[in-house]
Amino acid sequence: MNSLIWLPFLPLLGTLIPLISNRLSRTECAFLTAVLPALTLVLILINAGNIVQGERFQAAIPWIPSIGLELAFRLDGLALLFSILILGIGLLVILYARYYLSDKDPMGKFYAYLMLFMFAMLGVVLSDNLIQLWFFWELTSISSFLLISFWGHKTEARKGARMALTVTGAGGLALLAGLLILGDTVGSFSLQTVLDSGDLIKASTSYPVIVVLVLLGAFTKSAQFPFHFWLPNAMAAPTPVSAYLHSATMVKAGIFLMARFYPALADTDLWFLIVSLTGLATFLMGAYIALFQHDLKGLLANSTISHLGLITLLLGMGTDLAAVAAIFHIINHAIFKASLFMAAGIIDHESGSRDMRQLNGLWKYMPYTATLAMVASASMAGVPLMNGFLSKEMFFTETLHQASLGSLSWLIPVLATLGGVFAVAYSMRFIHDVFFNGEPINLPKTPHEPPRYMRVPVEILVALCLLVGIFPSYMVGDLLFSAASATLNSTPPSYSLAIWHGFNLPLLMSIIALIGGLIMYQNRPHLFKFQAQFPKSDPKLVFEGVVQSLASAANRFISFTENGSLQRYTFFTLLLAVIMTAASLMKLNATAGQRPEIPVDAVSITAAVLLSISALATVLWHRRRVVALITLSVVGLIVSLAFAQFSAPDLALTQLSVEVVTVILLILALFFLPQKTPKESSPRRVVRDLSLASLIGGVVGTICYALMTRPLDTISTFFTENSKTGGGGTNVVNVILVDFRGFDTLGEITVLGIAALGIYKLIARMRLFMPSSNDRGLAWSEDKNPILLAVISQSLLPLALLVSAYIFLRGHNMPGGGFIAGLITSVAIIQQYVGHGVEWIKTRVKLDYQIMIGSGIGIATLSGLGSWTFGHTFLSSWFDYFYLPVIGKFELASAMIFDLGVFLTVVGATMLILANLGQLTTSERPIQKEND
């Protein structure tokens, strides 16, 4: 039956129809919506015959094997029963809602949500794969959220919907965990495999965990104690929704889950204890609370909770007959409770109230509806000739055969009877309080019978109550049998669906329940008085309160940890770093290695001392910024000397030129920043930071020393060997930069370019903070450009440019290269700015630094792309030697073009930064371009 694969998707397709047919009349919209579910129902009923014969349809196609999810459906007795409930009652609800919804309500939206839910629910009951089951399980939570919050402008609708979603969602997560462990234990997520390996599961160590997690899912969904509180609050939903989700289908999903996994998980002491005791508690509590509700729907909701408890209790008992009784009661409860909700809806709809303190004596106004409601509630009470009586009779019988509580087993039948008493009492109240008991008290509108077709669904359901009640085996015998055998995964024991089993204990219990219920209803005033003593607590408020307080607690925690102090964040980062490194460094036995050390000479010592002093001075005087800046630059100077000494001329040159530019930059910046830093670190913080800093310094120093004193063979020999032959240069460092690792350099100049752009962004929008004087109150000199400087710098310019050209050209073979050349050029240009001022330059030098950056990066990239034409990879270099008169033999290399790109980018970036920064004080200050 491959049609089974697409069968469940018909309702999903159905979600579109109401959205489209929304424009048509309400009746047409409802009718069209009903088409696809009806079709689905027919298709299922066609196969019902074979299934009842014990056949089982399965169909699967792979979906996401890696998580064990496959699109797998099965249609067996249990699935058949639930599908009929879902689709059948669904159709009735569609008809009912057509008349229930007012013109203001968006009908298409409502039906769409309803179809979505139907799809999800159908998916749950037809699933043949654990993950897929969970998939649809969550979909029911989502769609029911949408349905409960259909009137989202009402507070109670929003709150009720959120509560339902939270509780069922939490249960869903537990269920997921349970199913994952279950699938892992069995080794497969296919339902059939799981059902067949019950013994293996029960034997495994993870069985208790599985049971608890799966049951958490079931109990939350089926509103079992202590998770029952969401259901009454879900009554904010439109009544058709309550009739559909909260009586017939969704709340039954938890029950279905327990029935579905019955062969795999049930029939152990753990199962019995948890399930039956929870069921019993829910059964009694629901019945008791129901009696005291004044809201019609509230009464029905609590009665639903109670009946779900009853079914749960039956499933917990572990005997096969109990399971049969449970299935039977699922059918019966669905029928009578749905009809009762619809009746309540009619009453609400036609009288404008659901409050039983106002609703009285409606018999006069709507006798027809009253009759229907009375029959249904009689069935709810378990009056003979009604279907409710039969399953309750079976229930009583089973409680008697229950011995699992040992000497206390007598408690179960007694409590069951007590629950029955309450059930009769609240059913009585539903009848007597509403339809008799005097006159209505100031109702919004005078009650009257509903439109003809709004009653039809109720009529059908009530008829079923009677038919099933009188001819049970004829009506549902086969269905029940196949469902039961599917649940038990075996043939159920023999049972009789007769109305009359002769005078026996169960019958006596029923009679006690009936009489006791009537008596209790008679004396309800005393009960109500007693109940009134308890303080009222609205679970909605409690729940919201809990969520609120949790949220504010979380808020306090977050604002405590993320207190917006960078110093803290940096501290944590560095702390983690030092912990990690120090932890492993302790395993280092000897700091020093075998590599021979270079002897210390006087020069180095003096340099080191000078370095240390100026570094410490920078720290000590860091609050006097200008001084600190000077000492800082001394450090930089010595660092470059160090490079020079340890045979890294390129580094020395670069460090030096960068140093110059950096200092210029910092001085310029200092003009716009305070000249002094206030003393604000608390002594504790100073000590804390000092200890961390020195700890890190120690670690770094140790590692550095340990590294230097150990021998190492690197890949570098390759570079020295291939520098000349492969790279065409004798300065290995430069060849590495422009050839072996030219890609790094390309990234490096990109960084420089981006930085320049970013800095332009920063400057261009800066609201200036322009000091007229320095911190000592001395005004800044007015004449910006001393003439002497102007002359010198102007005469120096050509020289500087010449030097940089030389540095650039020789770079490939001697220390130098595009980068250093670029920096020297920029320094030279800056001199002109300092010497002559911005305006003077602007008129003479036409340089768009942005274009320089762009073209620089562009040229560098293109020089790399050139090699593609020769079929080489990006940045493959080419070089050759030429001879020209006068100049003599010289070399041309593609690397030089690359270096030219570097040069341009460096000049462009440096100038874009410094020039704009310098211009801030002048009339030439940059303003945003057109595109902002």
Partner 1 sequence: MQHLSIFPILIPLLFGAIMLLPPISRDISSQRISSIVGTLFLLASSAVLLFKVDNEGVQLYALGGWQAPFGIALVADRISSLLVLLTSFLAFAVMLYSISGKDKGGAYFHPLFMFQIMGINGAFLTGDIFNLFVFFEVLLIASYALLIHAGGKQKTQAAMHYVILNLVGSSLFLFGLGILYGTLGTLNMADMAIKVGQLEGETATLAKTGALLLLVVFGLKAAMLPMHFWLPKTYASASAPVAALFAIMTKVGIYSIFRVYTVIFGEHAGELANIATPWLWPLALLTILIGSIGVFASPNIRTMSANLVIVSSGSLLACAAINSEAATSAAFYYMVHSTLASAGLFLLADVMARQRGKAEDRFVHSRLFVQPRLLGVAFAISALALIGMPPLSGFVGKIMILQATQSTAQTMWVWPLILIGSLAALVTFSRAGTTLFWRHNGSASSDAEPAKANEIVGIGLLLLASPILVLFGGEISEFTQQAAHYLHDIQSSAYDLLPGVTQ
Partner 2 sequence: MEGLYAFCVGLLTACGIFLTLRGRSFSVVMGLTLLSYAVNLFLFASGRLKLNAAAVLGQSEQYSDPLPQALVLTAIVIGFAMTAFAVILAMRARADLGNDHVDGVLPAQPGDPTYKSGGHH
Q: Which of residues 601-640 bind partner 2 (CB under 8 A)?
A: 601, 604-605, 608, 611-612, 615-616, 618-619, 622-623, 625, 628-629, 632, 635-636, 639
Can residue 748 be called a binding residue for partner 2 (CB under 8 A)?
A: yes
The per-residue DSSP string of 447-483 comes to --PPPHHHHHHHHHHHHHHHHHHHSHHHHHHHHHHHH
Can residue 674 be called a binding residue for partner 2 (CB under 8 A)?
A: yes
For residues 554-593, which are near partner 1 according to CB under 8 A?
Answer: 554-555, 557-558, 561-562, 564, 566, 568-570, 572-577, 580-581, 584-585, 587-590, 593
276 contacts 316 by C-beta, under 8 angstroms: yes
Which of these segments, 37-45, 83-91, 703-711, 831-839, binds partner 1 (CB under 8 A)? 703-711
730 in helix, strand or coil?
coil
Nearest approach, Cβ of residue 102 and partner 2 (Å): 51
Q: What residues have CB less than 8 Å from 46, skipping those under 6 apart?
A: none
Can residue 710 be called a binding residue for partner 1 (CB under 8 A)?
A: yes
Q: What sections of 562-598 are H helices per DSSP? A: 566-585
Can residue 358 be called a binding residue for partner 2 (CB under 8 A)?
A: no
Residue 92, amino acid: L
For residues 713-732, which are near partner 1 according to CB under 8 A?
Answer: 713-716, 718-719, 722, 726
Query: How far out from the chain centre does Cα 450 lie?
Result: 46
- Nearest-angstrom CA–CA distance, 349 and 294: 17
| Residue in 849, 843, 847, 858 with CA at minimum distance from that of residue 910 | 849
Which is closer to partner 2, CB of 159 or CB of 625?
A: 625
661 in helix, strand or coil?
helix
Q: What CA–CA distances, in Å, run from 335 to 30, 313, 922? A: 22, 20, 87
Can residue 134 be called a binding residue for partner 1 (CB under 8 A)?
A: yes
- Nearest-angstrom CA–CA distance, 643 and 647: 7
Q: Which does 642 bind (CB under 5 to 8 A by kind): partner 1, partner 2, none?
A: partner 2
Q: Which of 749, 824, 830, 857 contacts partner 2 by CB under 8 A? A: 749
Can residue 755 be called a binding residue for partner 2 (CB under 8 A)?
A: yes
Q: Which does 613 bind (CB under 5 to 8 A by kind): partner 1, partner 2, none?
A: none
- Tally of residues, the chain: 932
888 in helix, strand or coil?
strand
Q: Which does 83 bind (CB under 5 to 8 A by kind): partner 2, partner 1, none?
A: none
- Nearest-angstrom CA–CA distance, 386 and 311: 18
Q: Which of 65, 444, 678, 885 contacts partner 1 by CB under 8 A? A: 65
Which is closer to partner 2, CB of 548 or CB of 559?
A: 559
Can residue 537 be called a binding residue for partner 1 (CB under 8 A)?
A: no
Task: Report the DSSP pairing between strands 888-893 and 879-884.
Answer: antiparallel
For residues 691-720, which are near partner 2 according to CB under 8 A?
Answer: 692-694, 696-698, 700-702, 704-705, 707-709, 712, 714-716, 719-720
Q: Which does 692 bind (CB under 5 to 8 A by kind): partner 2, partner 1, none?
A: partner 2
| Residue in 926, 756, 919, 927 with CA at minimum distance from that of residue 840 | 919
Structure tokens at 455: 């009653």
| Residue in 725, 749, 903, 877 with CA at minimum distance from that of residue 811 | 903
Can residue 677 be called a binding residue for partner 2 (CB under 8 A)?
A: yes
Residue 895's H or E segment, with its range, is: helix 894-919
Can residue 706 be called a binding residue for partner 1 (CB under 8 A)?
A: yes
Can residue 769 be called a binding residue for partner 2 (CB under 8 A)?
A: yes
Can residue 16 be called a binding residue for partner 1 (CB under 8 A)?
A: no
Can residue 184 be called a binding residue for partner 1 (CB under 8 A)?
A: yes
For residues 854-913, which are near partner 2 according to CB under 8 A?
Answer: 909, 913
For residues 323-352, which are near partner 1 according to CB under 8 A?
Answer: none
Which is closer to partner 2, CB of 413 or CB of 728?
A: 728
Query: How many residues sit in the footprint of partner 1 (CB under 8 A)?
Result: 121
Which is closer to partner 2, CB of 571 or CB of 840?
A: 571
Can residue 850 be called a binding residue for partner 2 (CB under 8 A)?
A: no
Nearest approach, Cβ of residue 395 and partner 1 (Å): 35
Can residue 682 be called a binding residue for partner 1 (CB under 8 A)?
A: no
Q: Which does 723 bind (CB under 5 to 8 A by kind): partner 2, partner 1, none?
A: partner 2
Structure tokens at 20: 């489209």
Nearest approach, Cβ of residue 313 and partner 1 (Å): 29
**Binding string, 762-781, against partner 1, x = CB under 8 A?**
x-xx----------------
Q: What CA–CA distances, in Å, run from 806 to 174, 812, 815, 883? A: 74, 11, 11, 19
Nearest approach, Cβ of residue 242 and partner 2 (Å): 48
CB atoms within 10 A of CB 173: 15
Which of these segments, 225-233, 337-345, 593-601, 845-853, binds partner 2 (CB under 8 A)? 593-601
Rg (CA), the chain: 43
Nearest approach, Cβ of residue 559 and partner 2 (Å): 7
Phi, psi of 452 (to 5 degrees): -50, -50
**Binding string, 803-842, against partner 2, x = CB under 8 A?**
----------xxx---x-----------------------
Which of these segments, 29-37, 144-152, 559-567, 892-900, binds partner 2 (CB under 8 A)? 559-567
- Nearest-angstrom CA–CA distance, 273 and 538: 30
Q: Which does 839 bind (CB under 5 to 8 A by kind): partner 1, partner 2, none?
A: none
| Residue in 404, 354, 124 with CA at minimum distance from that of residue 249 | 124
Which is closer to partner 2, CB of 490 or CB of 694?
A: 694
CA atoms within 13 A on the CB side of 237: 33
- Nearest-angstrom CA–CA distance, 631 and 637: 10
237 in helix, strand or coil?
coil
Which of these segments, 287-295, 462-470, 671-679, 875-883, binds partner 2 (CB under 8 A)? 671-679
Can residue 5 be called a binding residue for partner 1 (CB under 8 A)?
A: no
Q: Which of 851, 890, 892, 922 contacts partner 1 by CB under 8 A? A: 851
For residues 416-475, which are near partner 1 according to CB under 8 A?
Answer: none
Which of these segments, 160-168, 299-307, 656-664, 797-805, binds partner 2 (CB under 8 A)? 656-664
Q: What residues have CB less than 8 Å from 863, skipping those under 6 apart?
A: 875, 894, 895, 897, 898, 900, 901
In the block, which residue shows the tokens 């349970």? 178
632 contacts 620 by C-beta, under 8 angstroms: no
Which is closer to partner 2, CB of 553 or CB of 700?
A: 700
Write b or e for each residue in 564-584: b if 16 or more Cβ atoms lie within 10 A of its Cβ, otherwise e.
eeeeeeeeeeeeeebeebeee
Which of these segments, 141-149, 308-316, 367-375, 490-498, binds partner 1 (CB under 8 A)? 141-149
Q: Which does 62 bind (CB under 5 to 8 A by kind): partner 1, partner 2, none?
A: partner 1
First-to-last CA distance in the chain?
64
Q: Which of 751, 787, 802, 845 contacts partner 1 by CB under 8 A? A: 751
Q: Output the 3-class SS for 733-799.
A: HHHHHHHHCHHHHHHHHHHHHHHHHHHHHHHHCCCCCCCCECCCCCECCCCCCCHHHHHHHHHHHHH
Nearest approach, Cβ of residue 732 and partner 2 (Å): 4
Q: Which does 532 bind (CB under 5 to 8 A by kind): partner 2, partner 1, none?
A: none
Q: Which does 693 bind (CB under 5 to 8 A by kind): partner 1, partner 2, none?
A: partner 2
Q: Which does 19 bind (CB under 5 to 8 A by kind): partner 2, partner 1, none?
A: none
Residue 521's H or E segment, with its range, is: helix 505-522
204 in helix, strand or coil?
coil
| Residue in 344, 356, 349, 371 with CA at minimum distance from that of residue 448 | 349
- Nearest-angstrom CA–CA distance, 830 and 397: 102
